[in-house]
Amino acid sequence: MQQDYRIFAIHSRLSSLKLAIPVISPKGGVGKSTISSMLSLALSDIGIATGLLDLDITNPTLHTILGIDIHSVKLEEIKGIKPFKLTERLEFMSIAFFTRDAALPLRGSDIVNTIRELLAIINWNSMILVIDTPPGLSDEVLELLLLLNSVNPHITKPLIITGQNILSIISTKRLLSLIRKEKIEPLGVLCNMCSNNEFIRDIAKAYSVEILGYIPFIQNFEETIGNTKAILKHAQSYLNILIDKILNLVKT
């Protein structure tokens, strides 16, 4: 890695960050993308310069959730590429801007190369970067943690998303066990589509991670896709503990 010139570009591109929040879950369908969108909309709404990166390289969907028409966006180039400004304080980047939303079938080493090129050319101007990742612990998540760790291990705090069903809880246990062995300090665990916090109380205690609240199953959530105002409203209802924790972290 030390012979890869892109690492040096990535270091300077990410040097202004105070906090990087990879949103991770070993299991698919637990709501990483919607929660990444909710969180970044809520942070930017309270005046924090926030970046949102869709790192689901082969299947990006954040632009759809945020109602961005990929084909109408022309990315601005100034010594690299400026992220798309969704609002005054929310910057967004996705591989979909480059593929024009076409399928991008890639194997492992190509995914690593894509992530390095992407992070080496994007000019973020944010204090907090929220990164949506694909499910599992494969190339995207491993490469992201590797790069963030090389920039500054202290700014990286993964947000772990789980559901309340048994398969989701078992997967989250596995992830927390691994994270603890690697001495990564997670932001905490958030239970999505949960009826209460009880489902994650035991694992939070066992792995000493903070419970950052729960989001109940929201009827007709599909109708909010593409409507940032409606998504922000949900964030303001359910992400208060998480946002308070983040505010405390960036204040210090």
CA pair distance 172, 26, nearest whole angstrom: 7
Q: How many CA atoms lie within 13 Å of 138's alpha carbon, on the beta-carbon side?
A: 16
Kindly state the smallest distance separating residue 56's Cβ from other proteins, in Å: 15
Residue 83 DSSP code: P
Instruction: Report CA 76 to chain centroid distance, whole Å.
Output: 23
CB of 25 or CB of 133, closer to other proteins: 133
Nearer to other proteins (CB atom), residue 42 or residue 111:
111
Minimum separation from the CB atom of position 106 to other proteins (A) = 6
Q: How far is the CB of 237 from other proteins (least distance, A)?
A: 37
Q: How far is the CB of 90 from other proteins (least distance, A)?
A: 22
Pairing of strands 90-94, 50-54: parallel
Q: Considering the complex, state which of residue 92 and residue 238 has its C-beta at the smaller distance from other proteins.
A: 92
DSSP reduced 3-state for 9: helix
The least CB distance from residue 117 to other proteins, in Å, is: 4
Distance CA 200, CA 181 (A): 20
Dihedral sign (CA 250, 146, 163, 181): negative
Written as six digits, the tokens of 161 are 């998303």
Taking the complex as a whole, how short is the minimal distance between the CB of residue 98 and other proteins, in angstroms? 4
Cβ proximity to other proteins: between 110 and 210 the closer is: 110
Quick one: how far is CA 177 from the chain centroid? 20
Which positions lie near other proteins, rule CB under 8 A?
2-9, 11-12, 77, 79-81, 95, 98-100, 102-107, 110-111, 113-114, 117-118, 120-121
Q: Which is nearer to other proteins, 106 or 218 (CB)?
A: 106
Q: Distance between alpha carbon 24 and the CA centroid of its chain, in Å?
A: 7
Q: Classify the phi-psi angles of 234: left when phi > 0, otherwise alpha if psi is within -120 to 50, otherwise beta.
A: alpha
89 or 116: whose CB is closer to other proteins? 116
Q: Are 99 and 75 spatial neighbours (Cβ–Cβ below 8 Å)?
A: no
User: Of 78 and 166, which has the nearer Cβ to other proteins?
Assistant: 78
Q: How far is the CB of 60 from other proteins (least distance, A)?
A: 12
